[in-house]
Amino acid sequence: MKKELMKNKEGEVYKDKEGDKLYKYSLEEGDIFIPQADNPTVKKGKYTNYGIFVETKEGEKVWLTLTQSQAEKLEDAKDPQTHPWKAYKYKNEFGDFIGISQADKKKPLSFEDIDPDEL
């Protein structure tokens, strides 16, 4: 996953209450994750933001920033937190994008049960 420091428009790094730096995570091709909630969070304001807590293959639990189409895919899935998801790259007339697909939905899986090439 792509990990970036969260900064304001002046370039100052955001920090939590304990003074630790805050990071923004987004998907890259081949990333595998398990959602930790049924649906993504949608925050509407001047811009609409999408995100969800996930567990990475490395065992980290992070807040993942999503695109609208990634969020919609998770919302449309039944029990998205019971199966790993994999990020893939695709192209269309507007450019290159990262999509997500769910592993075999017939049985619950864990990271140990999957072959990334079969997702």
Express each pLDDT in 40-78 by its tens digit: 999 999 999 999 999 998 899 999 999 999 999 999 988
Residue 99 pLDDT: 95
SS3 state of residue 30 = coil
Place of tokens 């990334």: 116
Report the predicted TM-score, pTM, of the whole model to 2 decimal places. Answer: 0.79
Do residues 36 and 84 touch, judged by C-beta distance below 8 A? Answer: no
Residue whose entry in the numeric block shows the structure tokens 């998907």: 27
- The four Cα atoms 7, 48, 88, 5 give a dihedral, to 10 degrees, of 10
Q: Is the pLDDT of residue 86 over 70?
A: yes
Residue 94 is classified by DSSP as T
Tell me the domain boundaries of the chain: 2-118
Cα 92 to Cα 96: distance, rounded to the nearest angstrom:
7
C-alpha 93/C-alpha 111 separation (Å) is 34
Name the helix (H) or strand (E) containing 72.
Answer: helix 68-76
